[in-house]
Chains A and B, each alone.
Chain A
Amino acid sequence: SYVLTQPPSVSVAPGQTARITCGGNNIGSKSVHWYQQKPGQAPVLVVYDDSDRPSGIPERFSGSNSGNTATLTISRVEAGDEADYYCQVWDSSSDHPGWVFGGGTKLTVL
């Protein structure tokens, strides 16, 4: 089955830029979606189709996808951005197609 690999944690100071990666075999050929989950809350979609933002999501959140790595970039990080972030794709390449999540990355704002 298809595997998405995320770093367990990323730390960044307020006002700086955070980059969270999501690795997968030829992930650049897939559409990647990103979710933010704060403690005790449900996940919220922050980027879809590699780089589009749902309404209400700040422009500070952006995404890119190429080759074997997709990246969620959060500019001018704020304390309120501290959360777990998950990437997700649809994998049709295996014998059992399905929706796949990465293991998640905990963003800490120093």
Chain B
Amino acid sequence: EVQLVESGGGLVQPGGSLRLSCSASGFTFSSYAMHWVRQAPGKGLEYVSAISSNGGSTYYADSVKGRFTISRDNSKNTLYLQMSSLRAEDTAVYYCVKWWGGYGAYWGQGTLVTVSS
């Protein structure tokens, strides 16, 4: 059974940093691209970042480019999202997503990030 468990969310002040982690199991993690998608409270889904299966290619939405860094450790079956210079508009539930082809095949339950003073 595929499992994606996000952690690392919480309350952070504007301008602060946070690192999210996603622990994967139930599939060959190193064979799949992985993505982060977020959802602000009461809003729709927003694409954040993607990383190829070997970590060699990354993608960022314009809204987070230069502030967020995606990475992965295939030896630990873990995906990361390092977030810095956080803003109020980054407040959202962040989902770790196993990607296949052009779509999100399986989503974790998400971790809430709240940026507020």
Contacts and interface: CB of A to CB of B under 8 A. Distances in A.
Interface of A: 31, 33, 35, 37, 41-45, 48-49, 54, 84, 86, 88-90, 96, 98-104
Nearest to A89: B102
B45 A48 contact: no
Contacts, number: 57
A43 to B, nearest CB: 5
Interface of B is mostly: strand
B102 A104 contact: no
Contact of A98 (B59, B104, B107): B59
Interface in B57-110: 59, 61-62, 95, 101-110
B47 interface: yes
B50 A43 contact: no
A32 to B, nearest CB: 9
A31 to B, nearest CB: 6
Interface in B25-47: 35, 37, 44-47
B63 to A, nearest CB: 11
A65 to B, nearest CB: 13
A33 B47 CA distance: 14
Contacts of A45: 103-106
A101 B102 contact: no
Contacts of A98: 47, 59, 61
A103 B40 CA distance: 12
B59 A86 contact: no
A27 to B, nearest CB: 13
B107 A43 contact: yes
14 contacts: A31-B103, A33-B103, A42-B107, A43-B104, A44-B107, A45-B106, A90-B102, A98-B47, A98-B59, A101-B37, A101-B45, A101-B47, A102-B44, A103-B44
